Amino acid sequence: MASVNMIKPKARLSNSNILFLIAAVIFVLMYLFAIISFPGSFLQFQTFFDLFNLNAPLIIMTLGLCIVMIGGGIDISIGAVCGLVTMACAVFLESRMGSIGGAILISLGIGIAFGILQGYLIAYLEIQPFIITLSGLFLAQGLLTTLHKDPINVTMGAFVRLRDFDFVISWLGTKNRLGVFIPCEIKPGTIIVVILLVILASLMKWSRFGRNVYAVGGNSHSAMMLGINVKRTVFITYVISGLTAGIAGFVYIMTTGAGNVGNAAGAEMKAIASAIIGGTLLNGGVGNLLGAPIGTLTLLVINELIRAAGVQSNFQAMVSGLLLYFFIVLQSIIMSLRDRRRVSIALPPWLRFPGKGQVASQRQP
Amino acid sequence: MLSETILEMKDISKSFPGVKALDSVDFKLRKSEIHALMGENGAGKSTLIKVITGVYEKDAGLITLQGEPIHFKSPQEAQNKGIGTVYQEIMLCPNLTVAENMYIGRSHSPIVNWKQMNEQAARLLQSLGIPASPIQELASCSLAVQQMIAIARAVDMDCKILILDEPTSSLDEDEVHKLFELMRELKARGVGIIFITHFLEQVYEISDMITVLRNGKLIGEYETSSLSQIELISKMLGNELEDITKIKKYEPHVSDTTIPVLEAVGISSVAGVRPFDFAIHKGEVNGFAGLLGSGRSESVRAIFSADKVTGGEIRMHGKKVKIRSPLHAMKHRIGYLPEDRKGDGIIEDLSVRDNIILTLQVLKGFFKPFSWKQAEAFAEEYIKKLNIKTPTSNTPIKSLSGGNQQKVILARWLLTNPEYLILDEPTRGIDVGTKVEIQKLVIKLAASGMSLTFISSEIDEMLRTCSRLIVMKDRQIVGELRGTDLSENDVMNMIAQGGENVCAQ
Amino acid sequence: MRTMKRSFSHLVLPISILLLLIIINLIKGADYFSITVVNGAFYGNIPNILFGASELVILSIGMTLVTAASRGQDISIGESATISSAVFVLFVLQAGEVTLLVIVVGFLLSCVVGLALGAFNGILVSVFKVQPMIASLILFTGGRSIAFMIDGKLSPILANDISNQIGTVIPGIPIQTPIILTVVFIVCIAMLFKTTNLRLYVETVGINPNAARLNGINPKKIIFLTFLIMGFCTAVAGFIAVNKAGRHDSVNLLKLIMMDAILAVAIGGNPLIGGKFSITGSIIGAYTIEVLNRTLLRLEIEPAMIKVFKAVFIIMLMIIASPVVRASIRKALDRVRTKNPTKGSAAMVSMVSTMDMIGEKGE
C-alpha cells in the first residue's frame, strides 16, 4: 500500500499494537469506572498493588504463554506445572535438607524440564502442541498427586520470613479510618513480575530470537525461507514457557506458603483468556507482551468489581465469560474492518506505482 | 570467454509422488554471469532452484560451490554460504515491518538494532526507488512492492550467487528496468545470477547464457547471443511444438443479432476490477489477455461471483439472472476452473472420485448423496475420457501430478455439463503434453456448443485457441482483438497503447 | 456402501492400541472377558467399559465433526452438557409426578438448549471467524456458573424410577441403558451420514474452504452445522451423565471431558487441524481411553500415578505416530537395506509397512 505511505508518512499501526492499544484503553477505562463506583477500595494504591501481589503467578504464566502463542503454538500445561512446582518446593523445604536456594533451583529445573520435553516433541517431532501439552498437564498433575496428596504448610524459618517479606513504600499509602498512615506494601512476587516483564518484553522486541518468534508465528514457511531456524525458535518458546511456569510456581508458594493439590489448577485457561484480552492472537504472529499483564489485570479488575458490587461468587465466572465474549467479538470486528479497508485503499490503479520522481519527493526525509 | 565456475550441479535428480521433477540435470553458473534458466511451466526450474537453496533435498547428484561439495539442509545454510534467493511466491512475513523482512534471518547479532536497521532499510529502499517505509507492516504493501522488497533483501546480502525466480511477473516496466540495472551492477561486481522468467524479451535483454529444461530433463546450455528466439522456443517445447501447431481453432458463426449465452453489464467486484461489459456466444472461445495483475482473473471471478460482486448485472440468453454466489452461477450452468489450483481448486486429501463428483453432488443437493456405485461410474467415465493418470479412483488427488490434478478439476466441471465454462490459467504449472491436451479439449468443447473463456499467461496458447481476445490493463478492458492471424505483437501493442489511452483520459 | 469402500488404514493405530491394552489386561488376569449376570443384567469388564465410555463416545463424535470442519476444537462441551442437563433437571423436578412423557419433554428441552449453545459457539466461529478454541473459551469460563444459576445452586437429586432406569438398567433388558442409548445415537449418526452429504461437505470445508466456496458449498453454514450437531451431542451426553449420577452436580459434571474427547479424536487417527475424519476411529479412540483408564486401575497402579501413566502412554503414542519419526526410521531402514540387501529381513519390511499404515493418518 504505497499510497497510504505517501499520503500519510507515518506507518499505520501494526495489528500487534492496535490490539494492545485496545486492551490498554479498556483496562484504563475499566479501572476509572471501578474508582468512580467504589472509591473506597479502588482509590487506594494498595488495591492496585494487591492485584499484582496476589496474582503474580498468573501474570508470569501469561507472559510465557504469550510468547508461545505469538510463535503460533499453545501450552496448556503451565497451570499444572506451576502446581507441581509449588508442591515440590513445599516437600523439599519441609525436608531436612531444605533451603531456599535449592527450592529455586527445583522450580527452575522442573519448569525447564517440562519445557524441553514438550518443546522437543512439538518442534522437532512435529506433534500437535495441544496434545503434547495436554499430556504435560496430565503428567504434572499425576506427579503432583504422587509426590504428596495433602496440603503442606511450609514452616521453615527462612522461608516464612521470605513469605512475609514486603517492600514498604513509605511515601505512598493511605490513611485508615483512625487516621493512621499505612504505607503501601509490595510483595517480592510483584518485583519478579516487573523484572520478568522487562526482560521478556525486551527479548521479544529487541532480540533476534524475539523477532524470529514473530516471523515464525506470522508464516512459518516464509520464516524458514528467510533463513530462520524455525524448529529451534519454536523449541525455545516452549522452554521459556516452561521456565516461566516454574518461576510462577515458586512465586506462588512464596505468596501462599503452602503446597496444595489444587494450587494453580485451571490457571492455563485463565492465562489463555488473559493473553487473548491482552491482544495476543491464537493464530500466532500478533501480540505484545505488555498486553499480558494488562489482560490479566483486566480480568482481575472485573472480578474485583463484581465482588465489590456484591455479586455472588458463582456469577463471577459468568461475567468473565461475557467479558471474554465482548473482547473476542471486538477483536474480530476490528480485524475484519482493517482488512476491508486495506482492500479498498490498495486497489485504485491510479494510486499504485506512481512514477519514480513522485515517490522520491514524497518519501520521508 | 567463460570465467571461473562458482556453482556446478551434476546429475541432479528429484522426484515427488507421481512425478520425476528433475532427471539427472547438470547446471553450471560462472562468475559475473547472468544465466537464464528456461523451460515451460513444470519443466523443473523451480525445483532445481529449491534443490540449490536447500528447500528440497536432492535424491541424487552432486552440487559444488566454488569447488567445494555442498549439501544444504535448510535455506539458512544456503544463505550463509552467500546464495540469495527471490522466490516466485513472496516468501516474507506479513506481520513484520518492511525493514525486518529485509534483515531478519541474516544477522548473527543477538540484539536487533532497530534504529540502524530502519536507517539502512530506508537508504536501500530509496536507492531502489521502492515506495515503502521501513516501519510499515509488510501486509500493508501491495504485492509488487512486496516483491521489490524481497529483491532488495536478496540484493543487499553480500552474495556470490543471486537467484531470481520469476521476479518480474508482478513488476511494471519501470521496475523491471530498475531491476535490470541492478543486475548489471551486481554482475560487474562478480555475482553470478540465475534468472528465471517467462518473458523471452527479458531473457535476450539481460542474460549471457541460457539453460533449457524440459519435463525435468536438461536440453542444453547455450550462449544467448547464438540462440535465436525460435530455436529457444522449439527447445523449450520439443516435439510438442508440432503437436501444438496442429491445433486449429473453432470459429463459431456469430452475427450481431444472435443473443449471447451470457452477457455481463457494468459488473464490478470487491477485488477491485473496474465495471466492465462482456458477452459470449454459443460455441465461442474467448480469452482475457493482459499482464499479471491486469485484472484478468478478477474479471472472470466477478462473472462467477467468486469475489463479492458490487454492481452490474448478468443476463443469460437475454434474461436477467441473479448471481450472487458461486452456487447461483453453478445453477445457471456456469463453471469456473480457478487460477490457483492448489488454493482454490483441489481438495487435497479427498480421493479423485470425490473431487470429480463434488460439484455435481453440490448441485444435486445436500440430502441426495450419490450412491457409491454411481459416483464410481462418473469417476471412471471421466478418468477414461480425459485420460487422467491415477492408480485408482480412490487415490487422494494430492498424490497426482499437476497436470492430472488439473484434469480432475476439468472433469469436475464437465460432469455438470456447463453452458459456459471459465478456465482461468488451466495450463499453469503442468507438463507440456497435458497443456496440448487441454487446448485441444477446449476447441472440441467449443465445437460441441459450449462457450468458453480461456485465460493463460502464455499468450500464444490463447492465440491458438481463442477466436476473440479481450485485452486488459490496470483492471479495465482496453480493447478487443478478433481474427485468425493475430500475433503476440498485436496483443502487446494493444496493451501498450491501451495504457496510453488510459493516461490520456 | 460408500463407507464400506473406504480404506481402513487410518484405523490401524487406534485398533492396535486397543488390542495392546486388552493383551495387557489378559496377561494381568485371564478372566478379563468374563461377564456376570446380576439382577438380569450383564456386568463385567466389557459392559463396564461400554457403560463408562458412553458420554465420551457421543461427545467425541461431535468433536470429530467440529475438528474436521473448523480446524479447531470446542472446549466448552462439558459446560454445555452441564447447562442443558440443568434445564432437564429443572424441568423434571418442577413437573411433580415424573412420567416418561416428562422425561422425554425434558430431554427435548435440553436438546433445544444444547442446540442453542452450539449455535452460540458456531456463530462466533463461522460468522465472526473466531478460532473455535477461543470462541468456546467463553462458555468454558462462564458455563458452569450459568448451570449453577439454573439448577438452583442445590445440586438437585433426581430421585425417580425412570431416571434411575435410564442411568442403570431397565428391568427385563440385560444391557445397561446408557449403552443402548449410545448405540442408538451411533446408529442415528450413521443414518445421518448415509442420507446426506455431510461427510463430503465437512471434509471439503475442512481441507480447503476456498475451493468449497467456489464449488457451491457455503463453509460458514457447514461449520455452523457441525457446531449444532456438537450442541446436540452435548445435550445427549449431559442427559446420560445426569441420569447416571442421579444428581446434577454443576461443578463436577463431565468436568474436563473435552480433554478426553480431543484425545479420542487424535487417537482415532484424525488430524486436529481438520480435514478428513473417521467417526469410527474416534469411537474406538473414546473406548480406548476408557479401557486405558480401567487398565491402569486394574493394574493396581496407585490412583495418584494414573495420570502419569496416562500422560506417558499418550506421549509414546504420539511419538510413534509422528511423521518425522516415521520418516527417519524409514530412511534408516532403507540405508540398512541398501547396505546389505541380502540381510533385509522380513521383519523389518513388515515393520516399515506397518509404520506406513499408521502414518497415513498423520498426514
Q: Tell me the pLDDT of chain C (363 aa) as tens digits.
A: 333 445 566 777 788 888 888 888 888 777 777 788 877 778 888 888 999 999 999 999 999 999 999 988 898 999 999 999 999 999 998 887 888 999 999 999 999 999 999 999 999 999 888 888 888 888 888 888 889 888 876 788 888 888 888 888 888 888 899 999 999 999 999 999 999 999 999 999 999 999 999 999 999 999 999 999 999 999 999 999 999 998 898 888 998 898 899 889 988 888 888 889 999 999 999 999 999 888 888 888 887 788 888 888 888 878 887 778 878 887 788 777 766 554 444 444 444 444 444 444 333
- Nearest CB to B126 within list A214, A221, A363: A363
CA B432-B434-B438 angle, 5° bins = 120
Q: Do A135 and C324 touch (CB under 8 A)?
A: no
Contact list in C for residue A139 (CB cut-off 8 A) is 307-308, 311-312, 315
* In a domain? residue C49: yes
pLDDT at residue C53, rounded to an integer: 94
Number of neighbouring beta carbons within 10 Å of residue A32: 11
- Nearest CB to B79 within list A222, A227, A347: A227
Rounded CA-CA distance B61/B73 in Å is 15
Amino acid at A129: P
pLDDT at residue A5, rounded to an integer: 38
Residue of A nearest to C75 (CA): A269
> B-side interface with C, Cβ within 8 Å?
304, 306, 325-327, 330, 336, 338, 343-350, 354, 358-359, 361-363, 365-369, 371-373, 375, 394, 412
Hey, what's the torsion of the CAs at A161, A162, A164, A170, to 10 degrees? 110
pLDDT at residue C131, rounded to an integer: 83
Mark whether C236 and C316 lie in a shared domain.
yes
* In a domain? residue C2: no
CA distance to partner chain A, nearest, from residue C129 (Å): 7
Contact list in A for residue B127 (CB cut-off 8 A) is none
Mark whether C76 and C172 lie in a shared domain.
yes
Q: Do C262 and A130 touch (CB under 8 A)?
A: yes
Q: Do B369 and C7 touch (CB under 8 A)?
A: no
CA distance to partner chain B, nearest, from residue A322 (Å): 29
Q: Is the ipTM of this complex over 0.85?
A: no
pLDDT at residue B407, rounded to an integer: 92
Nearest to C29 by CA among C309, C299, C313, C302: C299
Half-sphere exposure of A258 (CA within 13 A, CB side): 10
Q: Do C217 and B369 touch (CB under 8 A)?
A: no
* In the predicted structure, residue A142 carries a pLDDT above the cut 80: yes
CA B205-B157-A230 angle, 5° bins = 120
pLDDT at residue B18, rounded to an integer: 60
pLDDT at residue A349, rounded to an integer: 32
Mark whether C280 and C352 lie in a shared domain.
no
Across-strand partners of B7?
Answer: B29, B65
Answer for the pair B451, B261: CB distance below 8 angstroms, yes or no.
Answer: yes
Mark whether C330 and C317 lie in a shared domain.
no
Please give the C-alpha separations between residue B250 and each of B414, B441, B445, B463, B479, in angstroms, as whole numbers: 19, 11, 10, 12, 22
Rounded CA-CA distance B258/B254 in Å is 7
Amino acid at C324: V
Mark whether C131 and C66 lie in a shared domain.
yes
* In the predicted structure, residue B305 carries a pLDDT above the cut 70: yes
Instruction: Answer with the residue of higher pLDDT: B352 or B165.
Output: B352
Q: Which of A340-344, B472-476, C7-11 has the lowest mean pLDDT?
A: A340-344
Please give the C-alpha separations between residue A229 and each of A55, A124, A213, B156, in angstroms, as whole numbers: 35, 11, 10, 21
pLDDT at residue A75, rounded to an integer: 93
- Give partners of B (≥3 CB pairs < 8 A): A, C
pLDDT digits (tens, 9 = 90+) for A242-260: 999 999 999 999 988 888 8
Instruction: Name the region of B333 (left: φ>0; alpha: ψ -120 to 50; beta: rest).
Output: left
Look at residue B218 and give its three-state secondary structure.
Answer: strand
Mark whether C336 and C240 lie in a shared domain.
no
Helix (H) or strand (E) holding B450: none
How far does CA B452 lie from the centroid of its chain? Answer: 20
pLDDT at residue B246, rounded to an integer: 67
Mark whether C336 and C216 lie in a shared domain.
no
Rounded CA-CA distance C181/B52 in Å is 60
Helix (H) or strand (E) holding B194: strand B192-196
* In a domain? residue C352: yes
Instruction: Answer with the residue of higher pLDDT: C165 or B173.
Output: C165
Grid cell locating C287: 473406548
Mark whether C113 and C227 lie in a shared domain.
yes
pLDDT at residue A207, rounded to an integer: 93
Instruction: Answer with the residue of higher pLDDT: A95 or B488.
Output: A95
CA distance to partner chain A, nearest, from residue B474 (Å): 6
B464 Cβ contact list (under 8 Å, min separation 6): B244, B247, B249, B439
Q: How many domains does chain C have?
A: 2
pLDDT digits (tens, 9 = 90+) for A84-104: 999 999 999 988 888 889 999
Q: For strand B83-86 and strand B161-165, is the pairing parallel, antiparallel, or unpaired? A: parallel
pLDDT at residue A195, rounded to an integer: 95
Find cell 465469560 and name the residue.
A321
- Nearest CB to B75 within list A14, A227, A348: A227
pLDDT at residue C339, rounded to an integer: 63
Mark whether C54 and C172 lie in a shared domain.
yes
Domain at C155, CATH number: 1.10.3470
Rounded CA-CA distance B195/C159 in Å is 80
Most confident of A265-269, B330-334, C353-357: B330-334
Mutate to test the interface with A, among B91, B140, B291 (most CBs of A within 10 A): B140
pTM for the structure as a whole: 0.81
Nearest to B172 by CA among B131, B225, B115, B233: B131
Rounded CA-CA distance B417/A162 in Å is 80
Q: Which of A321-330, B317-326, B439-448, C310-319 has the lowest mean pLDDT?
A: A321-330
Mark whether C250 and C358 lie in a shared domain.
no
Look at residue B86 and give its three-state secondary structure.
Answer: strand
pLDDT at residue A363, rounded to an integer: 33
Rounded CA-CA distance C177/C165 in Å is 7
Contact list in A for residue B87 (CB cut-off 8 A) is 225
Q: Do B140 and A11 touch (CB under 8 A)?
A: yes
Domains and CATH numbers, chain B: 5-238 (3.40.50.300), 239-333+418-505 (3.40.50.300), 342-417 (no CATH)
pLDDT at residue B392, rounded to an integer: 87
Mark whether C38 and C184 lie in a shared domain.
yes
Hey, what's the torsion of the CAs at B421, B426, B432, B433, to 10 degrees? -40
Q: Do B93 and A226 touch (CB under 8 A)?
A: yes
pLDDT at residue A357, rounded to an integer: 32
* In a domain? residue C25: yes
pLDDT digits (tens, 9 = 90+) for A182-200: 777 888 899 999 999 999 9
Look at residue C282 and give its three-state secondary structure.
Answer: helix
Q: Which of A61-75, A307-321, C244-258, C340-354 has the lowest mean pLDDT?
A: C340-354
Amino acid at A39: P
* In the predicted structure, residue B438 carries a pLDDT above the cut 80: yes
Half-sphere exposure of A311 (CA within 13 A, CB side): 17
Instruction: Answer with the residue of higher pLDDT: B19 or B50.
Output: B50
Instruction: Answer with the residue of higher pLDDT: C348 or B96.
Output: B96
Each as own residue / partner, the long-range contacts of residues B385-394 (CB below 8 Å, 24 or more positions apart, any chain) are B385/B411, B385/B414, B386/B410, B386/B411, B386/B414, B386/B437, B386/B441, B387/B437, B388/B352, B390/B352, B392/B352, B393/B351, B393/B352, B393/B353, B393/B356, B394/B351, B394/B352, B394/B353, B394/C5, B394/C7
* In a domain? residue C32: yes
Nearest to B473 by CA among B353, B228, B298, B256: B298
- Nearest CB to B306 within list C1, C5, C214: C214
Q: What is the largest CA-CA distance in chain B?
A: 73
Across-strand partners of C313?
Answer: none
Q: Is B297 on the interface with A (CB under 8 A)?
A: no
Most confident of A267-271, B190-194, B371-375, C185-189: C185-189
What is the average per-residue pLDDT within B453-476? 84
CA distance to partner chain A, nearest, from residue B470 (Å): 19
Q: What is the DSSP letter of B456?
A: -
Mark whether C159 and C222 lie in a shared domain.
yes
Question: What is A235-278 written as a DSSP string?
Answer: HHHHHHHHHHHHHHHHHHHHHH-EE-TTTTTTHHHHHHHHHHHT
- Nearest CB to A208 within list B107, B141, B272: B107
pLDDT at residue A301, rounded to an integer: 85
B176 Cβ contact list (under 8 Å, min separation 6): B168, B202
Contact list in C for residue B336 (CB cut-off 8 A) is 214
Grid cell locating C360: 497415513
Domain carrying residue C344: 323-363
Strand spans (E) along chain A? 152-153, 167-175, 181-186, 258-259
pLDDT at residue C328, rounded to an integer: 83
pLDDT at residue A214, rounded to an integer: 94
Domains and CATH numbers, chain A: 14-339 (1.10.3470)
pLDDT at residue C349, rounded to an integer: 46
pLDDT-derived band at A10, boundaries 50, 70, 90: very low
Rounded CA-CA distance A250/A252 in Å is 5
What is the average per-residue pLDDT within A120-136? 89
Instruction: Answer with the residue of higher pLDDT: A349 or B102.
Output: B102
* In the predicted structure, residue A354 carries a pLDDT above the cut 70: no
Alpha helices in B239-335 (DSSP H): 240-245, 296-304, 326-331
Rounded CA-CA distance B85/B74 in Å is 13
Cβ burial C275-291 (10 Å sphere, 16+ → b, else e): bbbbbbbbbbbbbbbbb
Q: Do C135 and A121 touch (CB under 8 A)?
A: no
Look at residue B143 and give its three-state secondary structure.
Answer: helix
Q: Which of A177-186, A235-244, B77-86, C297-306 has the lowest mean pLDDT?
A: A177-186
pLDDT at residue B241, rounded to an integer: 60
Rounded CA-CA distance A295/A270 in Å is 10
Half-sphere exposure of C113 (CA within 13 A, CB side): 30
What is the average per-residue pLDDT within A92-118? 93
What is the average per-residue pLDDT within B321-349? 91
- Give partners of A (≥3 CB pairs < 8 A): B, C
Grid cell locating C144: 458452569
pLDDT at residue B254, rounded to an integer: 67
C41 Cβ contact list (under 8 Å, min separation 6): C169, C173, C174, C175, C176
Answer for the pair A23, A298: CB distance below 8 angstroms, yes or no.
Answer: yes
